Amino acid sequence: MEPHVLSALKGAVDSAVEDLVALPEVALWDVLPKESQPQCAMFAFLKGKGCTVHAEATYPQGRGECDLRVRFADGADLWIEIKNAWSAPGWVNKPKEQRARWVADLRKLRRAPENAHRAFVIVGYFSQEPAPTTCQVSQKIYAFHPDQRVHDSPCVDLQWRLRELKRIQAWVWGFSAAELRDAVTRG
């Protein structure tokens, strides 16, 4: 991934985490933030950096939609898929099902044009610091294509209305077309 694309992507993800930390003041009835919340925050950040940003962009040949497509001033093209993850006592965490949704989004990212950059983002909500050995969900995150993970946001406190959710962190993976083909083949 070109350095300016990666830098903007990292900034957008960190900005989305900051936005989500402030959200509990107004999200009084939500159980968990919707995936559209970090999508909107990333959209605003990237737009503010002079990019053209298209939310829910249709993949070529009309085969599904991508959460964000970003066109940089130099013509670089970035397609981003975003997923939530969660783990807390008393919640139905379903780590295998969460991972299956991540793999499904990687499959969608294969549809981006051959020369485009591709990124996958997980925003995680946890009862404790999501270290690699903390819980099954964080274990799956850290084991998920570690060679392609390009950024871990800072893990910060979250004051969500459901007191079980106390920490938030995001992870970013970057793929070329060939790397993504290999990643999807490996699952």
pLDDT, tens digit, 9 for 90 and up, residues 165-176: 899 999 999 999
For 35-48, the pLDDT digits (tens) are 999 999 999 999 99
Please state whether beta strands 77-87 and 65-71 pair in parallel, antiparallel, or not at all (unpaired).
antiparallel
Sequence ranges of the domains in the chain: 3-186
Question: Looking at the whole model, is its pTM more than 0.85?
Answer: yes
CA distance 47 to 84: 22
pLDDT at position 32 is: 74
Q: Tell me if 76 sits within 8 A of 2, measured CB to CB.
A: yes
For 73-94, the pLDDT digits (tens) are 999 999 999 999 999 888 878 9
